[in-house]
């Protein structure tokens, strides 16, 4: 397979899913006058009937999809090579000049939409869309446009700082993601040196990252005040359309995790320490196989990685296999870690082509397989919703979007033979279910920390450092010894890009994980029915309320103590199975 990593992805050449009806084919959506002209046409259009209104909604939807795709392509290009000044400048120009314009006109269009609702009762299928429009209007303030632009530029700055981190280790230069593979090595001294090298490198930029974040908190607090919200927490819950739960529900989740999940994680880590012959585990002892087995190495070449995951989907369901082939055939994958590439992984939808693009930092470890299964779940979601004419409905709430991705990790767990023999597949699955316990705790830590940050917006960097350590202590098990590593632990949150770029986007992972576990349990009884329900629910996109989306998948929307306890019991049974 051709190595596509060294060149710019030619995403602009992808054909649109359907012919444009409102947006001219030759329009340059990087030019302010052209965008203004189309927005003004939508604002000035005389709506005289319900039919006119619905056509206007679809014209706006087409325009929003076109603008969104342009931004997405610029973002993909920038994150694929953060040290390319031209790409950075192109994305920055869009954020500085086009994005504020869109935000300003979006509010004008929202106002027109709300006014038209007083005159015409459009089809009930638009009910959730109407609710979203009203919610967006409630959190709009013209003075926030400039502040949001500043935040976007700061996010880009964060990406650049993180993307340029590299580590000199054992005579070679590695990206930080590439360094993670050493944490799976059986040589404890090697693991410790690798871990310390990564931590030392991150600490070199701690002051710069703290300054970026201080500015972000200040801007977000001002944004909330400008729309009369008590704090940024209240603002986010409105802006993110969290209609189905509250900050108090999140705090109940924190307490449930502290009571139910932390003791289980503690027991698992005690077992790990016992197997490793250690009194206390250190941070570099968490990823390695506790029985001293060599690390799982599912692949060495990217082509083998892609083909292997394709085989997994072929074993699961032909519909999934066909969907993944779209990504393969149209080069909609950028998977290898390299210098200058932004951290993490994501799936982003090209909303005019209605096709997904997957970005990640693969280095040949077990977690890479899970990551590609995860992001493929998001891609399947995008492909399943492509027929919906309304841009807004082609995106489900985040809480369900993550069900789509996390379910693929679990549903694919019985089909790992393209990468592993039977024993290694059991090891991989043990790691998966063990990691879910850790994730439920980590989500509580990150979410709790974010609530503290925005409930105490005038905090200093030192107070934030101490608060992070206090929260870590609340959810931390004694089996991991951080003695002498207070600074390293105190700045751990710097690597969590959600805190910088997508504040409060993290509780969704816990909600979705609990849903995905239910779907997986259903699949153990009837796999084909579970896949049918999964795809049926994905196809709904955002056209149904959150609880109905869960119901369509055959699962319940809940992150209560009862659901958490039930899910933990399921996980422990699986861990026993994979140990035997």
Q: What is the DSSP string of 422-443?
A: HHHHHHHHHHHHHHHHHHHHHH
Quote the tokens at residue 542: 């955002």
> 95: which residues sit within 8 A by CB, 6+ positions away?
149, 152, 153, 156
Q: Is residue 485 part of a domain?
A: no
Instruction: Classify residue 496 by its DSSP letter.
Output: -
Dihedral sign from CA coordinates of 288, 293, 294, 298: negative
What's the pLDDT score for residue 343? 81
First to last CA, the chain: 39
Give domain status of residue 43, yes or no: yes
Tokens linked to 303: 């082509």
Q: Which domain holds residue 126?
A: 15-138
Closest C-alpha among 491, 482, 476, 429 to residue 284: 482
Tokens of 539: 């196809």
* Within-domain flag for 400: no
What pLDDT shows up at residue 544? Answer: 97
Residue at 529 is within a domain: no
- Asked whether the whole model's pTM tops 0.75, one would answer yes
Does residue 316 contact residue 411 with C-beta atoms inside 8 Å? yes
| Within-domain flag for 569 | no
Query: Is 262 part of any domain?
Result: no
Whether 572 is in a domain gets the answer no
Q: Burial letters for 299-321: b for 16+ Cβ neighbours within 10 Å, e otherwise? A: beebeebbebbbbbbbbbbeebe
One pLDDT digit (tens) per residue for the chain, 580 residues: 334 444 468 899 999 999 999 999 999 999 999 999 999 999 999 999 999 999 999 999 999 999 999 999 999 999 999 889 999 999 999 999 999 999 999 999 999 999 999 999 899 999 999 999 999 999 999 999 999 999 999 999 998 898 889 999 999 999 888 999 999 999 999 999 999 999 999 999 999 999 999 999 999 999 999 999 999 999 999 999 999 999 999 999 999 999 999 999 999 999 999 999 999 999 999 999 999 999 999 999 999 999 999 999 999 999 999 999 999 999 999 999 988 898 889 999 999 999 999 999 999 999 999 999 999 999 999 999 999 999 999 999 999 999 999 999 999 999 999 999 999 999 999 999 999 999 999 999 999 999 999 999 999 999 999 999 999 999 987 789 999 999 999 999 999 999 999 999 999 999 999 999 999 999 999 999 999 999 999 999 999 999 999 999 999 999 999 999 999 999 999 999 887 6
β-pair partners for 175: 166
Structure tokens at 477: 């098990």
What is the rounded CA–CA span in Å between residue 267 and residue 553?
A: 33
Could you give the C-alpha distances from 56 to 112, 133, 435, in angstroms and in order? 11, 14, 47
Is residue 563 a part of any domain in this protein?
no
Domain count of the chain? Answer: 1
Closest CA to 517 of 415, 408, 410: 410
For the range 193-200, what are the long-range contacts, defined as Cβ-Cβ under 8 Å and sequence gap of 24 or more? 193/169, 194/169, 194/284, 195/283, 195/284, 196/284, 197/167, 197/168, 197/169, 198/167, 199/485, 199/488
């Amino acid at each position: 397979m051709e190595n596509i990593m060294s060149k710019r992805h030619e995403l602009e050449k992808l054909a649109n899913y359907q012919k444009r009806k409102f947006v001219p084919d030759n329009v340059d959506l990087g030019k302010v006058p052209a965008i203004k002209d189309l927005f003004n046409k939508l604002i000035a259009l005389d709506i005289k009937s319900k039919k006119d209104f619905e056509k206007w909604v679809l014209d706006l939807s087409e325009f929003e999809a076109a603008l969104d795709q342009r931004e997405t392509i610029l973002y993909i290009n920038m994150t694929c090579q953060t040290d390319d000044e031209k790409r950075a400048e192109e994305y920055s120009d869009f954020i500085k000049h086009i994005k504020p314009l869109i935000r300003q006109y979006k509010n004008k269009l929202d106002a027109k939409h709300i006014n038209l609702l007083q005159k015409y009762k459009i089809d009930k299928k638009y009910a959730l869309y109407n609710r979203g429009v009203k919610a967006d209007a409630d959190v709009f303030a013209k003075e926030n446009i400039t502040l949001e632009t500043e935040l976007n530029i700061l996010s880009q700055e964060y990406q650049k700082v993180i993307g340029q981190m590299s580590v000199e280790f054992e005579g070679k230069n590695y990206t930080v993601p590439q360094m993670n593979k050493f944490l799976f090595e059986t040589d404890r001294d090697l693991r410790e040196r690798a871990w310390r090298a990564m931590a030392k490198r991150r600490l070199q930029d701690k002051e710069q990252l703290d300054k970026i974040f201080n500015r972000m908190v200040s801007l977000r607090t001002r944004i909330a005040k400008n729309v009369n919200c008590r704090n940024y927490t209240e603002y986010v819950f409105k802006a993110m359309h969290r209609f189905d739960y509250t900050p108090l529900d999140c705090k109940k989740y924190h307490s449930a995790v502290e009571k139910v999940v932390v003791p289980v994680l503690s027991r698992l880590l005690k077992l790990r320490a016992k197997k490793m012959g250690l009194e206390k585990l250190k941070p570099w002892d968490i990823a390695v196989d506790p029985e001293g087995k060599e690390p799982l190495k599912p692949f060495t070449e990217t082509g083998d990685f892609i083909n292997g995951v394709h085989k997994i989907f072929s074993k699961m369901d032909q519909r999934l296999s066909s969907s993944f082939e779209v990504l393969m055939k149209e080069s909609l994958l950028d998977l290898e870690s390299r210098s200058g590439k932004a951290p993490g992984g994501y799936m982003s939808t090209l909303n005019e082509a209605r096709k997904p693009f997957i970005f990640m930092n693969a280095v040949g470890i077990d977690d890479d397989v899970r990551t590609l299964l995860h992001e493929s779940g998001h891609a399947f979601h995008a492909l399943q919703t492509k027929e919906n004419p309304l841009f807004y409905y082609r995106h489900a709430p985040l809480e369900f979007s993550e069900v789509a991705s996390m379910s693929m990790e679990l549903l694919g767990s019985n089909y790992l033979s393209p990468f592993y023999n039977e024993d290694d597949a059991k090891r991989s699955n043990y790691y998966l279910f063990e990691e879910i316990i850790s994730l439920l705790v980590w989500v509580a830590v990150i979410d709790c920390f974010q609530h503290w940050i925005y409930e105490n917006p005038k905090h200093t960097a030192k107070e934030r450092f101490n608060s992070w350590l206090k929260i870590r202590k609340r959810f931390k098990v004694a089996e991991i010894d951080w003695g002498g590593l207070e600074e390293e632990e105190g700045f751990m949150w710097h690597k969590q890009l959600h805190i910088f770029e997508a504040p409060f986007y993290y509780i969704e992972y816990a909600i979705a994980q609990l849903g995905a576990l239910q779907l997986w349990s259903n699949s153990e009884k009837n796999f084909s029915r579970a896949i049918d329900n999964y795809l049926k629910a994905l196809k709904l996109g955002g056209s149904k309320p959150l609880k109905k989306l869960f119901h369509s998948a055959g699962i319940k929307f809940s992150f209560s103590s009862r659901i958490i306890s039930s899910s933990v019991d399921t996980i422990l049974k699986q861990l026993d199975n994979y140990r035997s």
